Amino acid sequence: MSLYRDTGVVLRVHKLGEADRIITLLTRRNGKVRAVAKGVRRTTSRFGARLEPFGHVDVQFYTGRTLDVVTQVQTVDAFALPIVGDYQAYTAAAAIVETADRLAAEEEQPALKLYLLVVGALRALAGGQRDSSLVLDAFLLRAMAFAGWEPALTECARCGERGPHAAFNVQAGGLLCPRCRIPGSVHPAPEVLAVMAALLHGDWPLAEDSTQYVRRDVSGLVAAHLQWHLERRLRSLPFVERRAREAPLTAALGSDAQAGGDIDDETGDPGADDTDADGEPHATAGGATPGTAAWTDTARATAPGEVEVTGAAEGSRRDTHPGAAGT
């Protein structure tokens, strides 16, 4: 019999049989863990209520043959109660745990940064002091940086030329200079890009100084960027096979993609990708992102153990503004 403990956030729960649940957690040390919680749907359950979505819990697991089994639960932070009581915070929190679930695709692969980002964002939503749509967008931008998809907000995504640039293209990875610009790019207002950068690097005064119009465009661009990368990752396996088959066609059409940089050539291959170059009208149309509540300051003040949340951008793989991140 093998026991282990970890701290985690409940991302999802599924019914299992009459009285049990399968709990999906994002843990500090073991990444995403799916485990069975027995008897939690009975009213007499000792820890049923602690294992609701958004709960931040300390759990003891028993290593099972297929799924691990939850044997003890202690609440670390009761985030669920304040979040569920505020509709805007609830919808933001639901988007946060769903995104975290999708980004931590592999079970039991450590994802400490992502875990800290989720805890920080949920703490901010539970605290209710920051606009919840800003909290969500800050989380999504930082989570994308964690995944290696940080949008280029100052330099050209393709050639790296310093901005400011006017054109933004989700498929290309962010801003594009006049030389690299491709059809289908959008032209967000400079304030929109400034707020995105502020959210990514934790400049809350600047982000909170923005108008609702700017925030709406920020949410739209962030949502489009996230959606495109998530969908592309889901398609990546069949795409590999297709690309090999269609290599000559790709080469013939490659002019769009040749500007190089670290983007892949998917944008240059219409046969492999349904989102063609014109396919980005929704990018500035504004996402249906909710709006009202908080984070990093709160996180810093209330949880010394989680201060890394505020410096999350430092851990991003692109690390374009090391000086601006964190403190």
Residues near Zn ion, by CB under 5 A: 156, 158-159, 161, 177, 180
Residue 108 vs 161, nearer CB to Zn ion:
161
- Determine contact, residues 303/211, Cβ cutoff 8 Å: no
Residue (of 83, 21, 86) closest to 47 by Cα position:
21
Residue (of 306, 286, 322, 310) closest to 77 by Cα position:
306
Minimum separation from the CB atom of position 141 to Zn ion (A): 21
- Determine contact, residues 217/284, Cβ cutoff 8 Å: yes
Strand partners, 34: 24
Residue 70 vs 180, nearer CB to Zn ion:
180
Residue 85 vs 160, nearer CB to Zn ion:
160
- Determine contact, residues 118/295, Cβ cutoff 8 Å: no
Minimum separation from the CB atom of position 155 to Zn ion (A): 8
Strands 20-27, 167-169: pairing is unpaired
Minimum separation from the CB atom of position 260 to Zn ion (A): 9
Minimum separation from the CB atom of position 34 to Zn ion (A): 43
Place of tokens 């950068």: 197
Minimum separation from the CB atom of position 263 to Zn ion (A): 11
Length of the chain as a residue count: 327
Residue 32 vs 158, nearer CB to Zn ion:
158
Residue (of 237, 236, 207) closest to 222 by Cα position:
207
Q: How far apart are CA 284 and CA 214, in angstroms?
A: 10
- Determine contact, residues 82/23, Cβ cutoff 8 Å: no
Minimum separation from the CB atom of position 229 to Zn ion (A): 20
Residue 138 vs 193, nearer CB to Zn ion:
193
Q: How far apart are CA 182 and CA 191, in angstroms?
A: 22
Residue 58 vs 161, nearer CB to Zn ion:
161
